[in-house]
Every structure is written in C-alpha cells, then in structure tokens.
Amino acid sequence: MRRVSGYAGTRVRSRWTRALRRALAYPLTRLPAYPLGLALLALMTQVAAAHGQSDRCVFQIDNVDRQGSVNETPAGTNYFAGGNVRLSCRGQQLTMQSDSVAAYGGDVVQFIGNVKYRDSTLTMDADRGTYYKKGEKWEARGRVTTRNIRNGSTLTGPALDYFRVVKGVRDTLEMFSTGRPRIEYTAAAPGARPGEPYIIVADRVRLKGNDRLWGGGKVTIDRSDFAAKGDSLRLDTGKGSDGTLIGGNPVMRGLGRDSFNLSGRRLDLKLDQRELTYVLARGNGHAVSREWDLVADTIGLDLNNRKLEQTLAWGDSIRPYATSPAYAMRADSLALDTPAQRLKEVRGFGAAWLGGTVEAASKQRDWIRGDSVVASFVQRDSAGTARAALSRIVARKGAQSYHIEANARHPDRPSINYARGDVIVMTMSPAGQGGVDRVDIRGQVDGIQLEAADAPARPDSSATQADSLPGTDEGG
C-alpha cells in the first residue's frame, strides 16, 4: 500500500490531485435538479425540460485546501481529500462541495461534512452524501435540506435515496425518504407565481417520476384552509391530478370561520392546477358543518376557491341522513348547496323525507315527504350571527305532509293535519313569526284534519231508569 501525504509539497500534491481527477473523471449522469424530496413534485417538470436527464457529467476538481492521500488496495485504488473540497461537472452549471471526499475504486464517492449541491434549479445541503456508480444511486444523510430556486418548494429530513434516470438503467426517477421528512410543496403550475404550500409530513415517502408521491405512516397534509391526516397517502399532481388518503380513519378538516369535518374509510382527492377541488369519503362517510351533521355510505365535498360549495351524499348500507338543530332529512341521495359556505338549498331524491323540530308535548314533529323534496333556506340574523332559516319546501310525486298544530283548548292534544297530493308546496312564515304560513297542494288531493273535542258530559246518576230510556214516560 502506498500513502502520499498532502503536506509533502507542491509537486506531490499536484501528482495526487491529478490522480484524484483521473479517478473521478469517469462519465457520470448529471445529478438532476431535484435529488431530495417532495419539492420535486413542483420542480421536476421544469428540470427535465430545461436540462434533459440524458446529460453526462465528468467530475473536475475545483479546490482542495489541506490534504490528500492515495491508498492502493487489492480491490482498487482509493483516494481521499480534505479541506473545502469542491467538484463540478465539466462544462455544466453543477457543483458539489464538502469538507472531505473519499473515492473508493472509482465506484463509490463519499462527501463528508457540510455537503452542498448546487445547480441552476436546486440547492441541497446535507451532513453526508454518497454516490454509487453501480446502480446510479445517490444517498443523502444527516440534516438534509433541499430548495427549489424557481418556486421555493423545500424538503427537510434525515435521509434520502435517489435513483436517477440513466439510459439503459431506468427510464423513470425514483426517490425514497425516511425518518419523517417534512415537505413544503408549493402548489403552482410550471411558470406560475408560487402559491401557499401544502405541508406534507410522513414517516416515509416514495416519489416516482415528476409528479407521483406515496407517503406512509401518520401522514398529515396542512394548509391555512384545511388539515388532513391518514395512515397512507397517494398523490398525483400530473396528468392524474388526484390522490387518496387511507388507513387510520382518514379525516379532513376545513379551517376558518365556516369550517367542516369529513371522515370515512377512504378519502379520494381531486385537483385542478394542483388546487384541491373535490374530496370524496367512501365507506362510513361522516360530514359535519356549521349547519348540518351528515352520515352516508359516500359523501362528496365540492370546493371552489377553497370554500365548500356543495355536498353530495348517497349509499345503500348507510342511507344519507342529515340533521341540524331545527331539521332532519333523509333520502336515497342528498345534495346540499352552500355557495360561499352559506346554506341555500337541500335536495333529496328517492323516498325523500324532511322533518322539523320534535314537538315537546306530543313528542312528534312536522314532516313532509315525496319522491323528491327540495328545501330552500335564507340567511337571517341570530344574535349577531347569520343563520340559515327554512323558507320553502316542495315535495313532488306521491307527496305527503303531516302537521301538528297547538290546540289552545287542549294543550296536551294538538290538532293533526295530514294531506296528500301530486305536489305539496309549503311556505314558511316570515322571520320572527315562525311556523307555516301557507300550504298549496296540487294534483289529486285528499287529507284529513283531526281536532281534539270536548269530552261528553257525564249522565246524572240521580235520574230514574225511566228517565234514561228514550220513548218512555211515567204514564206509559
């Protein structure tokens, strides 16, 4: 074995430097502009187009401050350098820097201490980095931080394995990050102004291609307008523009003044220009908003400009059922319209039923039903807060209504009105008056009105038997 000290003089240093250059001068596919993390989801599209992943790189040594050595071993020649070692790709805007570099047999190159990777698109810092020529693999370890210069997306974590595209080896890049990395993914289309990032955290992350991500283990997604969590995440911000949260009772919460909460066995996500536009809860769906509490097999939330605009619910094993402080509604399917997150209309289709508040004395409630029921709402002030108030109900096809009305003479026995028709339209009283103002029934109409009657007078016990027999008199 031969060892050459870096302090042996300028001539020896030059010989060692030339040897290290020869060791590092094999062709090397350029490290792409996103070797670390989910920030790549936002930056990889631009990188492939700007640089091309078939670019070849030949290392050149730009600086070695202190020392170098060469070790001959049966397995090959090893080279070591220390002191602000800087390498670059010859003829390309790509540099790597660390406190020390070790090259083993020309197959493995280690970067140790204050590792820095720079190109025209990405910056990456780590404690340690290792390049494996066989398999074209790059490892980053320690305090790993990457930042996209173009859009500001970042990833921080302790470890990342990167398998880049190399002709004849693999045609799609792959990355694996463990140790619960934190990703700030800027949701902006290529060339667009960066928007507010999604904050994604998971125990482990796998990325494939330019826009596909899988996260496993206590996954969370956060932004100012919502927060979501689950055991596993799949996200495609490219052509698929969709994602899935499963495991661990996945849940999504809308944040802000008019919040919502959605859970189910599985949450499916739809994106448009990387913005969340639709969330679908499959299996044991449960949605809670300021106005309603809804359960169903399947519940879908339609979002526009980060606000809940419509809720759809359907299913067989769990039939849609929505409740509020004043009303309840069930049907084969339900649609709740909430433009600007204000309840405007609720529609039920298929054996639809809408019920009012349970009456205290009789323990019954008003209700209306039909093949379809549409309930319209207006916003009214309630102690300084806008609240949805029922203004009109329309039931169609086999419509029926059941109404309980207080009876002043018999408070414990309210009057009951039952009506049937092809269409029933129920208009509610203006604000402050409460109750039903008018009922219109069209088509084949029938019904019944039941009123509590006074109890008949008891017979006089002092009357004679003859007095109690009609058609008789004492003289008879």
Condensed to tens digits (0 to 9), the pLDDT of residues 92-144 reads: 777 889 999 998 876 788 999 999 988 766 778 999 998 887 777 888 999 99
75 assigned to some structural domain: yes
pLDDT higher than 80, residue 14: no
Q: Which residues contact 12 (CB under 8 A, 6 or more apart)?
A: 4, 5, 6
7 assigned to some structural domain: yes
pLDDT at 186: 76
Whole-number Å distance between alpha carbons of 345 and 297: 21
Domain that includes residue 194, residue range: 1-208
pLDDT at 414: 81
469 assigned to some structural domain: no
Number of domains in the chain: 1
- Residue 328: CB atoms within 10 A of its CB come to 18
457 assigned to some structural domain: no
220 assigned to some structural domain: no
pLDDT higher than 70, residue 8: no
User: What's the pTM value of the predicted model, to 2 decimals?
Assistant: 0.77
* Per-residue buried b or exposed e for 207-232, using 16+ beta carbons within 10 Å of the residue's own CB: bebbbbbbbbbebebbbebbebbbbb
Region 297-301 average pLDDT: 97
pLDDT at 38: 28
Structure tokens at 349: 């289709």
pLDDT at 284: 95
CATH number at residue 86: 2.60.450.10
Q: Are 190 and 45 in contact (CB under 8 A)?
A: yes
The pLDDT-based confidence of 26 (bands split at 50, 70, 90) is very low
Choose the weakest-confidence range: 115-119, 368-372, 423-427. Answer: 115-119
Looking at mean pLDDT, say which of 15-29, 205-219, 364-378, 401-415 comes out highest: 364-378
Condensed to tens digits (0 to 9), the pLDDT of residues 186-222 reads: 755 556 666 788 899 999 999 887 678 899 999 999 9
89 assigned to some structural domain: yes
413 assigned to some structural domain: no
334 assigned to some structural domain: no
